[in-house]
């Protein structure tokens, strides 16, 4: 570890914050100009922009003979996007989850994540597998724009944690008065800063991790995954600060889909033999990625929002997962005790919490429907 590597991390963080600010400002103005919601822009333009670092790292890793780092980057980034990025962002303010996310985007994320687990069982993501993953995100992008245009005339208000409409932030910046050309310039500048910032930060972090003797898969799952997820974090935090809460969630969900279909699918199609999948990733990391996507469904269902306590729960789960990966890589003596606590206490508590909250929400909605019927009865 050198002072230069630490300096890279600091500079990379500064570039990420600046890039996220420009990207959100330009994307918000672009959404208003083209008549699409912030959610649709988040699922398409913003998510593609924030996935650019993952694509860069994955292709360079494969070309450099580190396919384990490439796969770990994609899987680890998706885990970090859901548990770390949404967790930290929800701690700032409850995140709006629209009906479109629940009806279409989140189920598709679970489906594509399941598909990756199934195709990886033979230890490789080949050309056909990559083509299927890529086709899924292409279809998602087209349908997202079509649904967004259809719903533009009758937008539905997102709901808060109690099922009531989330209040519009009085300080929300809708970036009025910016032309379409300037909006595109801001988006392009934001993307450039995000890519450069993530690259500089990851270079410094990888050098530090490699000096400690950590494997490529573990570096991809932890250091690189967090580094390439920082654009999503910067964008989501700034979006929440500007009142674009649905853009924050759309950015994360869209980025996860693009990571699977574009960042992983395209290299699998381009490089001979596809991408090898380590057995450890099939046994633990890809199932954790799938579980994170599945866990988001009932949480988003409960009130059409990700509440602060739910964000704290996601963040806690990410810390436990990262701790397990690091302890296992180091073959630390504390691994057995850590695993026992995780399996016997943390995971059962998580399942009970999700079941209890979902059951309460179902009962509350059923009671509300009954009251509405009684109120409308003559």
pLDDT in tens, 8-47: 777 877 787 677 677 767 776 776 676 667 677 777 777 7
Q: Is 92 exposed, middle or buried (0-12, 13-18, 19+ CB in 10 A)?
A: middle
Is 303 contained in some domain?
yes
Contacts 24+ apart (CB under 8 A), 39-42: 39/98, 39/100, 39/101, 39/148, 39/246, 39/247, 39/249, 39/250, 40/144, 40/145, 40/147, 40/148, 40/250, 41/247, 41/250, 42/239, 42/244, 42/246, 42/247, 42/248, 42/249, 42/250, 42/251, 42/254
Instruction: State mean pLDDT over 293-313.
Output: 78
Of the chain, the end-to-end C-alpha distance in Å amounts to 76
Helix (H, G, I), strand (E, B) or coil at 305: strand
Burial code (b: 16+ CB inside 10 Å, e: under 16) for 336-360 equals eebeeeeeeeeeeebeeebeebeee
CA atoms of 346 and 324, how far apart (whole Å):
13
Q: 275 and 125 in contact (C-beta within 8 Å)?
A: yes
Q: Using alpha carbons only, what angle is made at residue 72 by residues 81 and 308, rounded to the nearest 5 degrees? A: 20
Torsion angles phi and psi, residue 177, rounded to 5: 80, 10
State the pLDDT confidence band at 284, using cuts at 50, 70 and 90. Answer: confident
Q: How far apart are CA 322 and CA 98, in angstroms?
A: 30
Q: What number of residues does the chain have?
A: 378
Do the Cβ atoms of 253 and 51 come closer than 8 Å?
Answer: no
348 falls within a domain? no
365 inside domain: no
Angstrom CA distances, 229 to 36, 114, 350, stand at 25, 21, 24
Please report the pLDDT score of residue 166 as a whole number: 41
Comparing 106 with 349, the larger pLDDT belongs to: 106
C-alpha 109/C-alpha 256 separation (Å) is 7
Query: Within a domain: residue 240?
Result: yes
Instruction: Write down the pLDDT at residue 364.
Output: 64
Name 97's bridge partners.
159
How many domains would you assign to the chain? 1
Q: Counting Cβ atoms within 10 Å, is residue 210 exposed (0-12), middle (13-18) or buried (19+)?
A: middle
CA atoms of 6 and 8, how far apart (whole Å): 5
Phi-psi map region of 270: left, alpha, beta (phi>0 left; psi -120 to 50 alpha): alpha
Q: What would the pLDDT profile of 222-250 be if each residue is shown by its tens digit?
A: 777 777 777 778 778 887 887 777 777 88
Q: Which domain holds residue 295?
A: 3-332
Within a domain: 8: yes
The DSSP-derived string for 177-246 is: T--HHHHHHHHHHHHHHHHHHHHHHHHHHHHHHHHTT--HHHHIIIIIHHHHHHHHHHHHHHHHHTT-HH
Could you give the 3-state DSSP secondary structure of residue 124?
A: strand
Is residue 277 within 8 Å of 121, Cβ to Cβ? no
Let me know if residue 360 belongs to a domain.
no
Q: What pTM was estimated for this model as a whole?
A: 0.74
Is the predicted pLDDT of residue 195 greater than 80, yes or no?
no
Would you say residue 368 lies in a domain? no
With cut-offs at 50, 70 and 90, classify the pLDDT of residue 357: low
> Does some domain include residue 102?
yes
The answer, yes or no, to whether residue 160 has pLDDT greater than 50, is no
pLDDT class of 313 with cuts at 50, 70, 90: confident
Count CB-CB contacts under 10 A for residue 159.
17
Exposed/middle/buried for residue 308 (C-beta within 10 Å: 0-12, 13-18, 19+): middle
Q: What is the pLDDT of residues 87-108, one digit of tens each?
A: 899 888 888 777 778 888 889 9
Q: Could you report the per-residue pLDDT of 132-147, keeping only the tens digit for each?
A: 999 998 998 888 878 7
CATH number at residue 276: 1.20.1420.30
């Amino acid at each position: 570890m050198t002072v230069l590597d630490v300096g890279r991390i600091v500079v990379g963080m500064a570039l990420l914050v600046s890039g996220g600010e420009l990207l959100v400002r330009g994307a918000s103005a672009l959404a208003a100009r083209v008549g699409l919601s912030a959610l649709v822009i988040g699922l398409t333009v913003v998510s593609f922009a924030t996935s650019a670092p993952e694509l860069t790292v994955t292709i360079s890793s494969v070309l450099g003979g580190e396919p384990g780092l490439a796969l770990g980057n994609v899987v680890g980034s998706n885990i970090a996007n859901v548990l770390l990025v949404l967790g930290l962002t929800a701690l700032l303010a409850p995140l709006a989850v629209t009906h479109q996310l629940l009806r279409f985007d989140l189920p598709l994320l679970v489906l594509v994540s399941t598909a990756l687990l199934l195709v990886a069982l033979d230890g490789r993501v080949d050309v056909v597998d990559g083509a299927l993953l890529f086709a899924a995100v292409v279809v998602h992008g087209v349908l997202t724009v079509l649904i967004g245009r259809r719903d533009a005339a009758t937008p539905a208000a997102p709901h808060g944690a109690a099922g009531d409409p989330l209040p519009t932030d009085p300080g929300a910046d809708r970036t009025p008065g910016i032309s379409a050309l300037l909006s595109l310039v801001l988006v392009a500048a934001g993307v450039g800063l995000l890519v450069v910032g993530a690259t500089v930060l990851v270079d410094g972090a990888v050098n530090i991790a490699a000096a400690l003797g950590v494997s490529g898969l573990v570096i991809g799952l932890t250091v690189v995954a967090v580094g390439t997820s920082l654009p999503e974090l910067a964008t989501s935090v700034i979006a929440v600060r500007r009142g674009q809460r649905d853009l924050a969630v759309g950015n994360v969900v869209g980025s996860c889909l693009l990571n699977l279909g574009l960042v992983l699918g395209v290299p699998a199609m381009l490089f001979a033999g596809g991408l090898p999948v380590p057995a450890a990733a099939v046994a633990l990391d890809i199932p954790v990625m799938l579980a994170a996507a599945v866990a988001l469904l009932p949480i988003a269902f409960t009130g059409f929002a990700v509440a602060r306590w739910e964000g704290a729960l996601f963040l806690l789960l990410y810390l436990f997962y990262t701790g397990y990966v690091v302890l296992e890589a180091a073959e630390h003596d504390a691994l057995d005790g850590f695993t026992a606590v995780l399996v016997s206490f943390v995971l059962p508590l998580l399942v009970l919490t999700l079941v209890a909250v979902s059951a309460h929400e179902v009962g509350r909605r059923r009671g509300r429907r009954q009251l509405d019927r009684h109120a409308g009865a003559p």
